[in-house]
């Protein structure tokens, strides 16, 4: 029988409502959660680990890298066939992508959680954990990078984002939909996800700003980021990758200061492209030396830029790494 390491790492899946404050707080141990995944012993041997009991807004990039190192040690063990990790849902996509970029393994690594705490009717933690364990033992799930499993749907860490603040199927892949499903404990994949490069890093350079464009914006926030010593800037631009003209000088200043600027769209779907030649248009930004992040969400491409910058500050390398696996 295959063996799966389950890392308990906080989030709503480990929470219950505290009667005094009438709000959910971390309470359940890994053993208590696992006991609710009834019948799983017929599918896999489980080895439980505890990493944290944090809600995801408390998770930092540095903790994500520590978790990546823990997972690396587990997948290097011959007796472990796959790893499942619990996580709060708010920053789950960022951790999933950092793990995906920094782990080199064929073994399935699956991240899950819950949208409802154990005090709510329809607590979804045990079902998500069961489906994740089924994925971790699946031959089909090998070599697909880190997967996110919720509500019987599998999404790739590269593509997934939390698209709904309360639905059980909160995790979605914009543009394409899930890459697979867990049906009756069987894992079925419907398509591939483009693979990018992976790098093993030991330290993280996490000082990367994310700026969302709004009408009439100027260069003030970009200048603030430069002056505060940020090492990289992600801009969630408008539409196809365009910014207001008053931001352009700031972008130029950042690039002249060797600070990489990555542009994605604030639109939920679609990709950026050098369609427009006016001041601040995508073509204008490309000519200045901006990196394009294809169809990625700002918070995800920030993680990719972070990993790139943690490996090297060479602009050519950073551009190639960030654009690798994108179109
Ligand atoms: N706010 C919670 C967290 O991200 C939500 C969840 O886990 O679903 O930790």
Q: 96-140 pLDDT, tens per residue?
A: 999 999 999 999 999 999 999 999 999 999 999 999 999 999 999
CB 199 within 8 A of CB 307: yes
> What domains sit in the chain, N to C, each tagged with a CATH number?
3-189 (3.40.50.1170), 208-323 (3.40.50.40)
Q: Is the backbone of residue 143 left (phi > 0), alpha (psi -120 to 50) or beta? A: left
Q: CB under 8 Å to 60, separation ≥6 — which residues?
A: 206
> Cα(74) to centroid of ligand 1, in Å?
25
Ligand 1 atom, smallest distance to 10 CA: 9
* Residues labelled catalytic: 89
Global model pTM greater than 0.85: yes
Which residues lie across from 38 on neighbouring strands? none
Point out the residues of the chain with pLDDT beneath 70. Answer: 326-327
> Cα(56) to centroid of ligand 1, in Å?
6
CB 262 within 8 A of CB 233: yes
The residues lining ligand 1, judged by C-beta closer than 6 Å to any ligand atom, are 11-12, 55-56, 88-90, 113, 115
Q: Is 47 helix (H, G, I), strand (E, B) or coil?
A: strand
What length is written for the chain? 327
pLDDT for the residue 327: 63
**Runs of H (alpha helix) within 159-257:** 220-227, 248-256
Whose alpha carbon is nearest atom 7 of ligand 1? 88
Best residue among 51, 53, 60, 89 to mutate for probing ligand 1, ranked by most atoms within 8 Å of CB: 89
pLDDT for the residue 194: 73
d(CA 62, CA 60): 5
Which residues lie across from 295 on neighbouring strands? none
């Amino acid at each position: 029988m295959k063996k799966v390491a389950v890392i308990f790492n906080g989030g709503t899946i480990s929470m219950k409502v505290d009667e005094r404050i009438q709000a959910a707080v971390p309470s359940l141990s890994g053993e208590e959660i696992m006991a609710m995944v009834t019948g799983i012993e017929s599918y896999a041997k489980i080895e439980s680990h505890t990493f944290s009991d944090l809600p995801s807004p408390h998770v930092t990039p540095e903790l994500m890298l520590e978790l990546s190192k823990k997972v690396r040690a587990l997948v290097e063990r011959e007796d472990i066939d796959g790893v499942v990790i619990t996580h709060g849902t708010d920053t789950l996509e960022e951790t999933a992508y950092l793990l995906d970029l920094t782990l080199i393994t064929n073994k399935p690594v699956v991240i899950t959680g819950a949208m409802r705490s154990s005090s709510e009717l329809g607590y979804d933690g045990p079902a998500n954990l069961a489906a994740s364990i089924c994925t971790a033992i699946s031959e089909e799930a090998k070599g697909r990078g880190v997967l996110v499993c919720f509500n019987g749907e599998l999404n790739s860490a590269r593509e997934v984002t939390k698209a709904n603040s309360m639905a059980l199927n909160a995790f979605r892949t914009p543009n394409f939909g899930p890459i697979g499903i867990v049906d009756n404990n069987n894992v079925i994949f419907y398509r591939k996800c483009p693979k990018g490069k992976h790098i093993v890093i030991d330290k993280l350079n996490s000082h990367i700003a994310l700026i969302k464009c709004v009408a009439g914006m100027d260069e003030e926030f970009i200048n603030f980021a430069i002056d505060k010593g940020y090492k990289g800037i992600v801009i969630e631009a408008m539409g196809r990758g365009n910014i207001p003209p008053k931001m352009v000088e700031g972008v130029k200043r950042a690039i002249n200061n060797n600070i990489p600027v990555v542009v994605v769209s604030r639109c939920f779907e679609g990709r950026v492209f050098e369609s427009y030649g006016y001041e601040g248009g995508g073509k204008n930004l490309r000519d200045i030396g901006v990196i394009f992040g294809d169809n990625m969400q700002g918070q995800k491409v920030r993680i990719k830029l972070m990993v790139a910058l943690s490996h090297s500050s060479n602009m050519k390398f950073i551009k190639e790494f960030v654009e690798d696996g994108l179109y």
